[in-house]
Structure 1
Amino acid sequence: MHLIMAGRKEDKDLSKFIVGTCMGMCPNAELRLRQREQLIHPLEMAVDSSGKRLNYAQPRAMIKEFSRSAAGHEIKASDIRPVAVLVKTVKYLLTSLCSRKDVPWALVYQFIDDRLRAIRQDLCVQGVKNITCIQLQQASVRFYVYSNYRTCEHELCDFDPYLNNKHLAETLATVISWFEDLDKEDKQRKVNDASLADASSFCNHSDESDSHSDESDQEEIWNASDDDANESKILHDAETSEKDTILERTVANEEASLKISEDSCVRDQDSCTEGSETVRNVSEAEEGIGTSTHSARTSSGITDGNKCDVAVSEYSVREEAEALYLLVHFGNEEALMHILKLPKHIRCSRLVSVATEMSIAWLTHNYCRVLRLSTFLPPLLLCALHPHLTQIQRKALGILSRAHCCKGLVYKQEDLATILCFPSSHELVEACKHYGLTVVEGGVSFMKGAFNWDSPLMKPCRLKWIDDKLATIHLHELFLPQGLSL
């Protein structure tokens, strides 16, 4: 009875969702409305042979725009796009439109941001949670991470970093929560399968025991007559085995006494060399331990050397989402505790391990290790770390102003710019002057009370070494996860 009521409740919950029937990227009703009211975006306008935009819609380029739900507004199935159409729309947005050069990037960003919100709204209305829906959400996360880096130098009228970070955090939290829901479903499914297997094995065992009960009774009747004959044989074998055991013990005791006497003679002869042998064995053991530790550190791919081009290249969508969550909320202890509670195969993966070590290094004020480990991040995760880079540089300069406080001591600008990931010495000099440090010819002079901790953070700028890494991959590889790749 309880299972029947639970099934009815589940059916009632599923009845709240709508199954979309719109097979186009934009519903017909919205297309006619926007055409009549002349609400066509420049990226949706038709283009003539000369490349001039015309003031009417191009049906194939029209995409459903985001609209807030209002009280009393009825949601129709004809206005909701199914998952297959949403996949097609995301591919069009993040490959064809992102590569447009005839329109400013700020206008492209505003258009794609609005259309991605409409896609997430259609997913929420339909209540679908599967790996394809997670990949659609992950594509939005990738777009927001990249846009935060590419548009960091724009004005607020073109790009609002607060709204972008808000959409990024909400979408990323949705991705992680859906992954956790899928894990719970898989765990429950395994428990149900195990319980069904135990029940079936119990039924089979009871059937076999019933079938064999009659045969066992018959065998007891036939074997009862042989017990008297076997009893006498068992007594005879026991007496024989006892005599053999006594003889073997006597021989073993004699051999042990002879061996002890021989060892006592040899011990006096080798007493002088025993100490050297022990030292050699201990040193060999320590050498082996050191070698194994070094090999373990080397095999992990994370070293303490200078910058290198060896970055993590193979990772799953789940590993990428968890690493992005840690970098977006960089320095947050709650985010770090969430990572430590993940399953072992996710927590110990290389990408998540690098992000975790960076977060721990930042919490322990080891800024140099944070910047060193950042070289192992793929281009997309470097974009996620970029908004925190100015804070890392500010903290590092404040620590250096106390650690290297000495009259006459000058830190070379080129070396300091390389360590702190400044684009050039010019940007380093501007940052030092902004925070109140003294800049001399060819170097920076650190004084203990010169650093101004009350000065605001400098505005982030694009970095050439990140741009070079982004230039090595295509847009569809950057934005589309593995399941949505072209």
Structure 2
Amino acid sequence: MMNNTAMSNAWHHSRRGRGHRHKEQDRPNRERAVEQKAEDSVPRGACMTMCPAFELRQREAQNRLHRFEMLAGTERDRLPCADVSRAVKEYSRPAAGKDSTRASDLRPPSVLLKTVCYLVDDIAASSTFQPWTEVYSFVSDRLRSVRQDMIIQRVSGPDCVAVLEKSVRFLLYASYRLCGQPLQYYDPRINDTHLQESLSWLLESYRDGKHRHQEEFQALSLLYNLGSTHALQHVLELPERIRSSPAVQLALAVSRAHSERNPVRLLRLSQRLDFIQVCAVHRHLLPCRRDLLLLYSHGHSSRNCRYPLQRLARLLSLKDPLAAELCRVCGVSVSGEWVSFSKSSFTEAPSGDLQCRRTHEPVDDEQWNCPAGSVIHGCA
């Protein structure tokens, strides 16, 4: 028989146990309530056009419309009219006292994706809008605005991935096409910042599940960031099904050749890259070609040794005239169809002596003339 004290302790222990179990059972409900409250506080876009009506009226009145957004026939007016079907919300820096979360100023994910497709198909891929430096300036600003709307609304899922994939392809294509342009028209550092941010966000979004183009963009990230231990480690930690895909395996082989300072193998592997992959890796190719000439200048340094220019051009993955020009810039003697190497005459040429844009142009001219739209949509 239990005495009164023991019975009392047992009763209180039972009550505490029941209370603890109730708290444990209530915890998921409380967490769901907190998550629901946080989700309810996230702004939801209600603007169903590419540019909010308020901004459109404001820019129209202030004569701040881009010529790509003007209504045909009003371009020469004192205050040109906006074409609602062509005007796109511009990027604006967050400012104190400015509410950037109004539903009427935010575009929902479906409209954001539609906007990106318009920018690619009707602006970037258009043959009528020239020069392309102006096309780039307009599209890159509007894509930045799209990403800003996505951040405010915490957009995720397929629409987010589709927007980021097209943004990354556009920025990669632009880095290739506009390489060597004056800084007032194209700043590679700014483009690199936007590209790295978009790539990082995209790769993080891939963690949510399977995505159709994941292997392509994992490979592009590694090719663009050759020499980055972080980029290489990220790829090596991917699931086997992604890591063993042809695109990622080729990117890993290129990365290995780069880390081993094997320019001949790297340039040979680069011949197997598709166009958008060439866009990703091109900034590493000129230093790689200089490394090759440096190695040959030491390995074949001799007054009596001549090397066929045509064969060297194939190793450099360049047309003969460009190979000869690169040799001269680097202090390698060229005489007709032959080159002579000398380790004492080799010079580390300043980057401005031979534009990267010229040396990374593919041997196949049709590839360079590939339509921008098909490249950015991933159809090339």
The aligned counterpart of 2:275 is: 379
Report how far residue 387 of structure 1 moved.
1.5
Cα deviations across residues 335-358 of structure 1 (Å, max 9, x unaligned)? 112111100010000001001001
SS in 2 for 1:43: helix
The aligned counterpart of 1:328 is: 224
Q: Which amino acid aligns with 2:70?
A: M
SS in 2 for 1:444: strand
Cα distance in 2, alignment partners of residues 464 and 354 from structure 1? 18
Q: Please state if 1:366 is matched with 2:282.
A: no
Q: Please state if 1:14 is matched with 2:50.
A: no
Given candidates 157, 177, 197, the residue that maps to 1:170 is 197
Q: Please state if 1:86 is matched with 2:119.
A: no
Cα distance in 1, alignment partners of residues 129 and 221 from structure 2? 34
Given candidates 82, 103, 109, the residue that maps to 1:77 is 103
Q: Which amino acid aligns with 1:429?
A: A
SS in 2 for 1:19: coil
TM-score of the superposed pair, with normalisation by structure 2 = 0.86
Q: Please state if 1:64 is matched with 2:121.
A: no
Cα distance in 2, alignment partners of residues 450 and 331 from structure 1? 28
Q: Please state if 1:480 is matched with 2:377.
A: yes
Cα deviations across residues 280-301 of structure 1 (Å, max 9, x unaligned)? xxxxxxxxxxxxxxxxxxxxxx
Cα distance in 2, alignment partners of residues 375 and 30 from structure 1? 47
What runs of 5+ residues in structure 1 fail to find an aligned partner? Answer: 187-314
Identity %: 34
Cα distance in 2, alignment partners of residues 40 and 52 from structure 1? 10
Cα distance in 2, alignment partners of residues 131 and 467 from structure 1? 35
SS in 1 for 2:363: helix
Cα distance in 1, alignment partners of residues 322 and 340 from structure 2? 16
Map 1:345-364 → 2, pairs under 5 A: 345-364=241-260
The aligned counterpart of 1:408 is: 304
Aligned residues: 348
The aligned counterpart of 1:270 is: none
Cα deviations across residues 197-236 of structure 1 (Å, max 9, x unaligned)? xxxxxxxxxxxxxxxxxxxxxxxxxxxxxxxxxxxxxxxx
SS in 2 for 1:12: helix
The aligned counterpart of 2:21 is: none
The aligned counterpart of 2:155 is: 128
Q: Which amino acid aligns with 2:338?
A: G
8 A Cα contact 1:379 1:466, kept in partner: no
Q: Which amino acid aligns with 1:427?
A: L
Higher Cα radius of gyration: 1
Report how far residue 333 of structure 1 moved.
2.4
The aligned counterpart of 1:460 is: 356
Report how far residue 456 of structure 1 moved.
4.1
Q: Please state if 1:432 is matched with 2:327.
A: yes
8 A Cα contact 1:436 1:452, kept in partner: yes
Change (3 A) 1:464 1:375: closer
Given candidates 115, 118, 141, the residue that maps to 2:142 is 115
Larger relative contact order (C-alpha < 8 A, sep ≥ 6)? 1
SS in 1 for 2:96: coil
The aligned counterpart of 1:342 is: 238
8 A Cα contact 1:326 1:359, kept in partner: yes
